[in-house]
C-alpha cells in the first residue's frame, strides 16, 4: 500500500482530497470538527517534510454555486485546528486557482473552493480532473467517505499522477482496519448488523458469510428473518419481499458453519414514539398492533455472551431506534459489551453512519479499537467491492 510515508514531500506541492463535508450551523460555524481533525496528521506530515498542501473537498449538495456551500466558511476553523493559517481561493480550477497554487510557498496551505460548484466533479469529467491535477506535484487521497465514488477529485484525477499518488494516513488506516477484520482477523470473528433494512445489507451479509464465524442480526432487520421463520411480529418493520432471501441466508450460514444470532425478545411499543406504552415481548409472539423497537433484556444478555467470546468484531447498525431514549438501551448495552471485549484485547471496528452516531452519542468512541468515518464506503468494502478511489491509487 503506497501511503504518504513512501514519499518525501520536501519542495513538493501535495494535492490532497480531504473530506471536509462538515456540518455548519445557521451562522456557518462548523458544529462537528471530527473530519477536519482526522485530516490533520496527513497535512502536518507533508508540511513537516518541507512541502505545501493544497486541499480540495466538497461541501453539501450545491446546485447553483449557492454561497451557503462555500468552503470559505470553514477556512478559519481549519487554520485553528491545523495551527497554520490557511489561504483560500474562490475556485478549484482555472486561472485563479492556478495562480494561487503557483504562489503557494512551502509550509503553506491552500484550500480550494467547493469541488461540487462544478458539475464535472460528480460526473468524473476527465478535463476537469486534468485541470485539478495541474495544481499539485503529488496526489494524496485522504477522503474515505467519498472513496466509493468515481468522481473527478477522488478517482479520475489519480491517472495524471503516475508514480506520484498515495493514500493519506486516514484512508490508509481505514483500509488497514477493514483488512484486519475481513482478511487478517483473529478468530472467532463476529459481525453485528443492525439498522432498519435487510435490503441495504444483503450483499454485505452474503460477502461476509465466508469471513466470519458468527453474526448477530438485530434492529429492524431482524423482523424479516423472524417472520420468515413463522413468527408473529405484530406491526414491526418488515420487508416481506425479502423473507425468502432471509431463509436462504440462514441456510447458507448453516452450511458454512456460521452461527447466526437473532434477538429472542424485544421492547415492543404501541406507537412509534418515545413516550409510547412499552412491554417486553417474545420476538416470535409480538401482540397485534405492537411493534418491536429495541432488543429486549434476554437478547442483550445473549449478545453479550457472543461478544465476549469473539476476538474480532465488526459493528454496523443500531439494535433499536436509538434516537429515542426509550429504545436506546439495547444499542447502549451492546456498546458496553463491545467496550468491555475491547478492553480484554478484542479488535473492534464500528462503522456506518448510524452506528458511528450512536457510539459518539453514548460515549463509546474512545472505547472501541477503530471508528470508521465512511458509511457508504465501508458498506461497499464489506460487500467485497474495490472502491474506485482505492483502485485509482493502486493502478
Ligand atoms: P440503517 O440506516 O439501515 O443502518 O438503519 C438505521 C436506522 O434503523 C436507525 O435510524 C434506527 O432508528 C432504525 N431502527 C433500528 N431498529 C429499528 C426497529 N426495530 N424498527 C424501526 N427502525 C429501527
DSSP secondary structure letters along 208-221: HTTT-SEEEE-GGG
- Average pLDDT (176-189) is 93
Q: Is the CB of 361 under 6 A from ligand 1?
A: no
Last residue of a domain, one of 141, 168, 195: 168
Residues 127 and 200 in one domain: no
Residues 119 and 157 in one domain: yes
Residues 36 and 164 in one domain: yes
Is residue 35 flagged as an active site residue?
yes
Residues 6+ apart with CB under 8 A from 88: 71, 72, 75, 110, 111, 113
Neighbour count for residue 252 (Cβ, 10 Å): 15
Domain count for the chain, please give it: 2
Backbone angles phi, psi at 153, to 5 degrees: -80, -15
Backbone angles phi, psi at 301, to 5 degrees: -65, -45
Q: Is the CB of 218 under 6 A from ligand 1?
A: no
Inside any domain, residue 312: yes
- Per-residue pLDDT for 376 more than 90? no
- Active-site residue identified among 60, 353, 384, 391: 353
Which atom of ligand 1 is found nearest the CA of 320? 16
Residues 224 and 289 in one domain: yes
Residues 162 and 243 in one domain: no
CATH number at residue 133: 3.40.50.1260
Inside any domain, residue 177: no
Last residue of a domain, one of 116, 139, 168: 168
pLDDT of residue 147: 94
Q: Directed axis angle between helix 34-49 and helix 75-82, to 10°?
A: 60
pLDDT of residue 354: 80
pLDDT of residue 353: 67
- Average pLDDT (86-103) is 98
Radius of gyration of the CA atoms of the chain, in A: 23
- pLDDT by residue (tens digit) across 117-160? 999 999 999 999 999 999 999 999 999 989 999 999 999 999 99
Residues 242 and 362 in one domain: yes
- pLDDT by residue (tens digit) across 309-363? 999 999 999 999 999 999 999 999 999 999 999 999 999 999 876 888 888 889 9
- Average pLDDT (65-81) is 98
Residues 309 and 217 in one domain: yes
Q: Is 145 helix (H, G, I), strand (E, B) or coil?
A: helix
Q: Which residues pair with 3 in a beta bridge?
A: 167
- Active-site residue identified among 40, 130, 376, 384: 376
End-to-end, the C-alpha distance of the chain in Å comes to 11
Which atom of ligand 1 is found nearest the CA of 201? 3
Do the beta carbons of residue 240 and residue 233 sit within 8 Å?
A: no
Is residue 197 flagged as an active site residue?
yes
Inside any domain, residue 303: yes
Inside any domain, residue 176: no
Q: Burial-class residue 276 by CB neighbours within 10 Å (0-12, 13-18, 19+).
A: middle
Q: Is the CB of 323 under 6 A from ligand 1?
A: yes
Residues 249 and 373 in one domain: yes
Do the beta carbons of residue 378 and residue 178 sit within 8 Å?
A: yes
Inside any domain, residue 216: yes
Inside any domain, residue 393: no
Q: Which residues pair with 214 in a beta bridge?
A: 190, 259
Range of the domain at 150: 4-168
- pLDDT by residue (tens digit) across 124-136? 999 999 999 999 9
From 292, 321, 327, mutation site for ligand 1 pocket: most ligand atoms within 8 A of C-beta: 321
Inside any domain, residue 346: yes
Residues 264 and 151 in one domain: no
pLDDT of residue 19: 95
Residues 190 and 154 in one domain: no
pLDDT of residue 352: 76
Which atom of ligand 1 is found nearest the CA of 321? 12
- Per-residue pLDDT for 31 more than 80? yes
pLDDT of residue 200: 86
- Average pLDDT (91-97) is 98
- Per-residue pLDDT for 227 more than 80? yes
Last residue of a domain, one of 168, 197, 228: 168
Please state, rounded to an integer, the average pLDDT across all residues of the chain. 96
- Per-residue pLDDT for 34 more than 90? no
Inside any domain, residue 364: yes
Residues 91 and 121 in one domain: yes
Residues 52 and 133 in one domain: yes
Cα–Cα distances in angstroms (integers) from residue 59 to residues 19, 92, 136, 148, 316, in the given order: 8, 13, 21, 17, 25
Task: Categorize the per-residue pLDDT at 280 as very low, low, confident or very high, splitting at 50, 70 and 90.
Answer: very high
Which atom of ligand 1 is found nearest the CA of 322? 12
Supply the pTM of this predicted model. 0.89
SS3 content of the chain, % helix, strand, coil (to 5): 45, 15, 40
Q: Is the CB of 326 under 6 A from ligand 1?
A: no
Amino acid at each position: 500500500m503506497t501511503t504518504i510515508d513512501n514519499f518525501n514531500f520536501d519542495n513538493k506541492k501535495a494535492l490532497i482530497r480531504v473530506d471536509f463535508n462538515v456540518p455548519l450551523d445557521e451562522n456557518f460555524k462548523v458544529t462537528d470538527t471530527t473530519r477536519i481533525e482526522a485530516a490533520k496528521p496527513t497535512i502536518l506530515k507533508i508540511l513537516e517534510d518541507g512541502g505545501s498542501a493544497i486541499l480540495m473537498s466538497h461541501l453539501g449538495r450545491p446546485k447553483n454555486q449557492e454561497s451557503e456551500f462555500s468552503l470559505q466558511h470553514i477556512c478559519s476553523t481549519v487554520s485553528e485546528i491545523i495551527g497554520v493559517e490557511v489561504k483560500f481561493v474562490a475556485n478549484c480550477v482555472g486561472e485563479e486557482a492556478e495562480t494561487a497554487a503557483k504562489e503557494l510557498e512551502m509550509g503553506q496551505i491552500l484550500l480550494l473552493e467547493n469541488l461540487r460548484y462544478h458539475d464535472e466533479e460528480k460526473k468524473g469529467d476527465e478535463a476537469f480532473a486534468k485541470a485539478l491535477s495541474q495544481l499539485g506535484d503529488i496526489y494524496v487521497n485522504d477522503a474515505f467517505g467519498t472513496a466509493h465514488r468515481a468522481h473527478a477529485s477522488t478517482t479520475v484525477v489519480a491517472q495524471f499522477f503516475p508514480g506520484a499518488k498515495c493514500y493519506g494516513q486516514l484512508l490508509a488506516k481505514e483500509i488497514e482496519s477493514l483488512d484486519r477484520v475481513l482478511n487478517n482477523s483473529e478468530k472467532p470473528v463476529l459481525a453485528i448488523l443492525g439498522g432498519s433494512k435487510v435490503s441495504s445489507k444483503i450483499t454485505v451479509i452474503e460477502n461476509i458469510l465466508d469471513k466470519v464465524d458468527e453474526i448477530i442480526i438485530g434492529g429492524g432487520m431482524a423482523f424479516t428473518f423472524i417472520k420468515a421463520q413463522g413468527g408473529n411480529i405484530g406491526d414491526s418493520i418488515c420487508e416481506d419481499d425479502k423473507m425468502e432471501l432471509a431463509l436462504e441466508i440462514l441456510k447458507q450460514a448453516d452450511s458454512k458453519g456460521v452461527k447466526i444470532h437473532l434477538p429472542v425478545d424485544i421492547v415492543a411499543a404501541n406507537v412509534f414514539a418515545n413516550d409510547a406504552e412499552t412491554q417486553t415481548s417474545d420476538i416470535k409472539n409480538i401482540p397485534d398492533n405492537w411493534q418491536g423497537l429495541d432488543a429486549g433484556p434476554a437478547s442483550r444478555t445473549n449478545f453479550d455472551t457472543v461478544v465476549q467470546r469473539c476476538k474480532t468484531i465488526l459493528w454496523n447498525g443500531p439494535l433499536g431506534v436509538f434516537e429515542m431514549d426509550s429504545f436506546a438501551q439495547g444499542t447502549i448495552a451492546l456498546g458496553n459489551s463491545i467496550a468491555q471485549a475491547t478492553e480484554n484485547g478484542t479488535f473492534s471496528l464500528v462503522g456506518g453512519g448510524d452506528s458511528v452516531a450512536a457510539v459518539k452519542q453514548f460515549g463509546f468512541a474512545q472505547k472501541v479499537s477503530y471508528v470508521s468515518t465512511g458509511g457508504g464506503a465501508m458498506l461497499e468494502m464489506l460487500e467485497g467491492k474495490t472502491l474506485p478511489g482505492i483502485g485509482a491509487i493502486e493502478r
